[in-house]
């Protein structure tokens, strides 16, 4: 938890942003519900607890069973939670009181949890506006549907809240929170740097373990052990597979085989729950084949291009399109596509090879705030999400500003089913050389991902060290690690 001044300051900023959300005298209340424990089967055997990210951001309390109300008219704040009783003490040990937690987050008052519901109902009955963020977890959905008697879909959709609207998540509150969380504070950047350092160590352990004959699952275990020992755990379910053409491949049943490529997309969550997210692609025998190197070098150049372009004032959508052009230029040199680059970019030909966006926001969530609405988070007013494969999956299109944290993750994948579909449906308008693609059908995929902080005059890669990325650097690292291992 940060110092209480951080949370007090954030809530003051939110209060000011919400001043515009309603008539003077009836702005209403903003309500925040932290996450509950989620039992695996019986109530004493829970999944690992993870606090709701906006609750963490505004109140800092990293425990289940808390909620809070910020009165947007008076500025009063109250933290709701229950002090432990003797049964809890038997199982959990003595715990600090709720009032001491309210003190730590700088909230003026605290009250038992059941008063959270009664305060909301009282405010609603007196015609006050109720603002809450889109709800994602099951228990919180259940809590609000029972409290408000509304369908659960209302809790995920955002609408402008006025005195008489039916219950739904608040567009005003959601936009205000997004505007704050998008721009990272100094204390947050320090935490992301820590998560990136752990991510670096995870990927280093994975690379060192990547040897012919080793099971992918073994590598995952060694890699995830690093973040379990140094941070909170993984920031998302690790992707580690020699079938890297499947973008989010969570199967780890294969054995490392020379000649194949291993895609590792994994990150750490710091103890304060800030994320990192890195991808590297390794040659399983320690050396790329020339076919692999040619494609790998294109992806590495695309990653570098995004880094050189990312700066305040440019839309990340434009960076995505510049990367698409560079990728198509490289693929054209290999004879896989043909035509003018501008035409191919316009027709979305890069989507056949990179059916995802260049990157996303990252912060307390690895895909930061996407529970609040992907377009609200990733698109400026007036920007319209494209329908094309690839560009349509771009989750961060906004004009970059200092303090944004985004991922830079181009990839090239050869997905036989997709290639076949495009060929059958003639989606490529004659710009793809399917005969030349034949020898890539068992290639797999390559993705290379770094995390960028947008600075006043450009950007910097987050984390104290950068993982090897050029094909030469990767081979040199694997070579020296193999030599060290053989000396042991
Ligand atoms: N972790 C998936 C991604 O890189 O977005
Ligand atoms: Mn990733
Ligand atoms: Mn990512």
Q: What is the pLDDT along the chain (488 residues), one digit of tens a residue?
A: 999 999 999 999 999 999 876 667 789 999 999 999 999 998 889 999 999 999 999 999 999 999 999 999 999 999 999 999 999 999 889 999 999 999 999 998 999 999 999 999 999 999 999 999 999 999 999 999 999 999 999 999 999 998 877 899 999 999 999 999 999 999 999 999 999 999 999 999 999 999 999 999 999 999 999 999 999 999 999 999 999 999 998 899 999 999 999 999 999 999 999 999 999 999 999 999 999 999 999 999 999 999 999 999 999 999 999 999 999 999 999 999 999 999 999 999 999 999 999 999 999 999 999 999 999 999 999 999 999 999 999 999 999 999 999 999 999 999 999 999 999 999 999 999 999 999 999 999 999 999 999 999 999 999 999 999 999 999 999 999 988 888 87
Residues 100 and 208 in one domain: no
In 3D space, the residue among 169, 89, 443, 138 whose CA is nearest the CA of residue 296 turns out to be 443
Sign (positive/negative) of CA torsion 367, 369, 370, 374? Answer: negative
Where among 150, 182, 214 does a domain terminate? Answer: 182
Atom of ligand 1 nearest to the CA of 279: 4
pLDDT value of residue 486:
82
DSSP class of 165? P
In 3D space, the residue among 210, 198, 173, 172 whose CA is nearest the CA of residue 268 turns out to be 198
Atom of ligand 1 nearest to the CA of 267: 1
Whole-number Å distance between alpha carbons of 232 and 275: 10
In 3D space, the residue among 67, 196, 183, 156 whose CA is nearest the CA of residue 120 turns out to be 67
Atom of ligand 1 nearest to the CA of 409: 4
Residues 144 and 271 in one domain: no
For 243-316, strand residue ranges (E) read: 261-266, 268-269, 278-283
Residues 172 and 217 in one domain: no
Residues 134 and 257 in one domain: no
Atom of ligand 1 nearest to the CA of 235: 1
Whose tokens are 């990272």? That residue is 184
CA of 265 to the centre of ligand 1 (A): 7
Q: Which ligand is nearest to the CA of 451?
A: 3
CA of 235 to the centre of ligand 3 (A): 10
CA of 324 to the centre of ligand 3 (A): 17
Mutate-to-test residue for ligand 1 from 406, 449, 451, 452, highest number of ligand atoms within 8 A of CB: 449
In 3D space, the residue among 324, 291, 297, 294 whose CA is nearest the CA of residue 439 turns out to be 291
Residues 203 and 176 in one domain: no
Residues 50 and 110 in one domain: yes
CA of 233 to the centre of ligand 3 (A): 16
Residues 210 and 166 in one domain: no
CA of 277 to the centre of ligand 2 (A): 5
Q: Which ligand is nearest to the CA of 236?
A: 1
CA of 358 to the centre of ligand 1 (A): 10
Q: Domain range for residue 341?
A: 186-487
pTM across the whole model: 0.96
pLDDT value of residue 487:
80
DSSP class of 470? S
- CATH number, domain containing residue 430: 3.90.230.10
- CATH number, domain containing residue 148: 3.40.350.10
Q: How many separate domains does the chain show?
A: 2
Where among 115, 150, 182 does a domain terminate? Answer: 182
CA of 48 to the centre of ligand 1 (A): 21
Q: Give the distance from CA 197 to its chain's centroid.
A: 17
Residues 248 and 340 in one domain: yes
pLDDT value of residue 243:
96
Residues 133 and 200 in one domain: no
Whole-number Cα distances in Å, 83 to 33, 62, 67, 197: 17, 15, 13, 37
Atom of ligand 1 nearest to the CA of 360: 5
Mutate-to-test residue for ligand 1 from 196, 366, 393, 447, highest number of ligand atoms within 8 A of CB: 366
Pocket of ligand 1 (CB under 6 A): 236, 265, 277, 360, 366, 409, 449
Residues 147 and 275 in one domain: no
Q: Which ligand is nearest to the CA of 393?
A: 1
pLDDT value of residue 23:
67
Where among 182, 210, 232 does a domain terminate? Answer: 182
Residues 171 and 120 in one domain: yes
Over its C-alpha atoms, the chain yields an Rg (Å, rounded) of 25
Residues 404 and 440 in one domain: yes
Sign (positive/negative) of CA torsion 105, 107, 112, 117? Answer: negative
pLDDT value of residue 165:
79
Whose tokens are 């895909």? That residue is 367
């Amino acid at each position: 938890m940060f110092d209480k001044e951080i949370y007090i300051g954030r809530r003051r900023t939110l209060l000011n942003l919400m001043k515009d959300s309603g008539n003077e005298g009836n702005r209403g209340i903003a309500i925040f519900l932290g996450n509950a424990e989620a039992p695996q089967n019986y109530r004493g055997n829970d999944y690992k607890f993870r606090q709701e990210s906006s609750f963490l951001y505004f109140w800092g309390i990293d425990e289940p069973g808390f909620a809070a109300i910020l009165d947007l008219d008076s500025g009063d704040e109250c933290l709701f939670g229950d002090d432990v009783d003797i049964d809890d003490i038997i199982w959990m040990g003595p715990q600090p009181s709720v009032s001491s937690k309210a003190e730590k987050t700088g909230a003026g008052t605290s009250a038992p949890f059941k008063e959270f519901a009664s305060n909301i109902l009282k405010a609603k009955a007196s015609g006050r506006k109720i603002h809450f963020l889109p709800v994602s977890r099951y228990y919180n959905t259940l809590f609000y549907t029972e409290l408000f008697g509304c369908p659960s879909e209302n809790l995920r959709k955002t609408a402008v809240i006025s005195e008489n609207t039916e219950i739904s998540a608040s567009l005003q509150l959601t936009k205000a929170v997004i505007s704050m969380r998008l721009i990272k504070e100094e204390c947050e950047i320090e935490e992301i740097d820590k998560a990136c350092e752990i991510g670096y160590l995870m990927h280093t352990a994975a690379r060192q373990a990547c040897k012919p004959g080793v099971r992918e699952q073994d590598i995952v275990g060694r890699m995830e052990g690093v973040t379990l020992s140094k941070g909170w755990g993984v920031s998302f379910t690790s992707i580690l597979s020699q079938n890297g053409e499947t973008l989010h491949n969570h199967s780890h049943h294969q054995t490392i085989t020379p000649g194949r490529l291993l895609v590792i997309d994994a990150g750490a969550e710091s103890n304060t729950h800030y994320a990192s997210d890195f991808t590297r692609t390794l040659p399983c025998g320690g050396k790329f084949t020339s076919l692999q190197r040619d494609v790998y070098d294109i992806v590495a150049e695309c990653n570098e291009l995004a880094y050189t372009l990312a700066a305040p004032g440019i839309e990340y959508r434009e960076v995505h399109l510049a990367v698409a052009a560079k990728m198509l230029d490289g693929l054209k040199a290999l004879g896989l596509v043909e035509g003018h680059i501008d035409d191919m970019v316009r027709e979305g030909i890069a989507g056949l090879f990179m059916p995802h966006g260049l990157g996303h926001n990252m912060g307390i969530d690895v895909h930061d705030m996407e529970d609040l609405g992907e377009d609200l988070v990733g698109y400026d007013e007036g920007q319209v999400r494209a329908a094309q494969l690839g560009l349509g999956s771009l989750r961060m299109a906004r004009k970059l500003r200092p303090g944004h944290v985004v991922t830079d993750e181009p990839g090239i994948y050869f997905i036989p089913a997709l290639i076949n579909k495009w060929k059958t449906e003639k989606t490529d308008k004659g710009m793809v050389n399917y005969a030349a693609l034949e020898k890539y059908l068992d290639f797999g995929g390559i993705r290379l991902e770094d995390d960028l902080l947008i600075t006043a005059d450009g950007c910097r890669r987050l984390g104290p060290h950068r993982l090897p990325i050029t094909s030469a650097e990767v081979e040199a690292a694997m070579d020296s690690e193999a030599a060290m291992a053989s000396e042991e």
